[in-house]
Amino acid sequence: MGSEAFGHFFQKTSKIVERALNLNERYDVAVDYGSAPEDALGDGASAGAGATLRCTFTDAQWTKGRAVTCIDWSHKHAELLAASYSSTTFVSATGGGALRKGAAQAAVDGSPEGVVLVWNQNLVERPEYTFHCQSTVLSTRFAEFHSSLVVGTTYSGQVVLWDMRSSKHTPVQRSPLATTCHTHPVYASHIVGTQNAHNLITVSTDGRLCAWTLDMLAKPQETLELESKQGKAVAVTCAAFAQGEINSFLVGSEEGAVFQARRHGNKAGVSHVLKPEHGGPVTSIDVHPASGHVDFSDLVLTSSVDWTVRLWSTRRKRALHTFSANGDYVYGVRWSPARPGVFAHVDALGMLDIWDLTADIELPAFGTAVTPKNAALNYLEWSRDGQNIGLGDADGNVYVYGVGEALSTPKANEWKAMDRLVTDLSSD
């Protein structure tokens, strides 16, 4: 019973039992489907106009003294989300005090610098998978076309790859620490392309973009240096691609500027800078998912430590509106994948705000204090169906909020209403 094989078997089977027990708690096997609708709502997370806490993920061994740096939802299994964590001594280059120092020191207690945990909403007491590496993980992604692979980018510049099919907790592949790859922190990562032709795109804080194949991280397929018109390297803090786009992209910088850029062609590199610039580092950027009959793929949201969120039009090369009803640094902003006029953002006071632009552009439709003692919320990510939001804070907690029907279910003529709003903002 003390063998390694038995240990793996016991870990696997005990998780199956725990999942079944959690499902039994969440699902009433004696439910009366003929009862009044309000009796069938369960935890009430889908009924109202706001959002309701579904579950909180934390682990005394792996998350204490760490800050959440990134969250990503699985493309194949809707109940899975991956969260990356800082080391216990890491301080973010862009987040001010958001990713603050922990009490412990990794060098003393022997814990790994970087951690990625895969959480299961049907297994809340412990992570489904635990991965780690030698450097703080700044971003993590489920590989869209390889459902068992998890990608991480690190403070050292290394790109690492874990495999959920393997019993190893350490990376099965990693890029070398070489001048042909990244040698600066990598906050931005995206997987672009199709099933048969896709790349992992990473951008480091020295402005170097690398394109990788997940089969070989020994050397990037291509590299590109992002420089401003003055020939200065762009200190990239975040990046975003439009849905289905593989060439054009946007990056936010430490200087507060938002740049349009291209990977290929005669004008590869930075092409335009959007005006006006933020008054501080850009903490996140997101392109409208544009999955309806009106094309909003030119609409971009950014957040910044200048306490604002901005709505941009890349077609018009300028900001359309500034949302300034915030009380501190704004660390993350994301469009809803379900409704064209809905987005959410989080800030250093631990607030989650959800906006519905078709209803009001001056005040959020919903807001709530998420964290105890106003711990900063560092990151947010919508689930792919727009029904849930994953949030990460500076104390290592991951929260999953269920979004009410009023903010997650598309409405009639909503796309036309959003189109009219964009037209009005563009004419101002």
At residue 292, the pLDDT reads 80
- What pLDDT score does 311 carry? 98
Spans in the chain with pLDDT lower than 70: 1-49, 90-110
The confidence score (pLDDT) of residue 372 equals 85
Q: Are strands 299-304 and 80-85 parallel, antiparallel or unpaired?
A: unpaired
Q: Six-digit token pair at 92?
A: 């973010």
Q: Is 39 exposed, middle or buried, given 0-12, 13-18 or 19+ CB atoms closer than 10 A?
A: exposed
In this predicted structure, what is the pLDDT of residue 22?
55
Task: State the pTM of this model.
Answer: 0.86
pLDDT of the residue at 267: 87
**What confidence score (pLDDT) does residue 125 get?**
92
CB 147 within 8 A of CB 174: no
Up-side HSE of residue 249: CA atoms within 13 Å toward CB?
A: 28
Residues linked to residue 153 through DSSP beta bridges, in sequence order: 139, 159
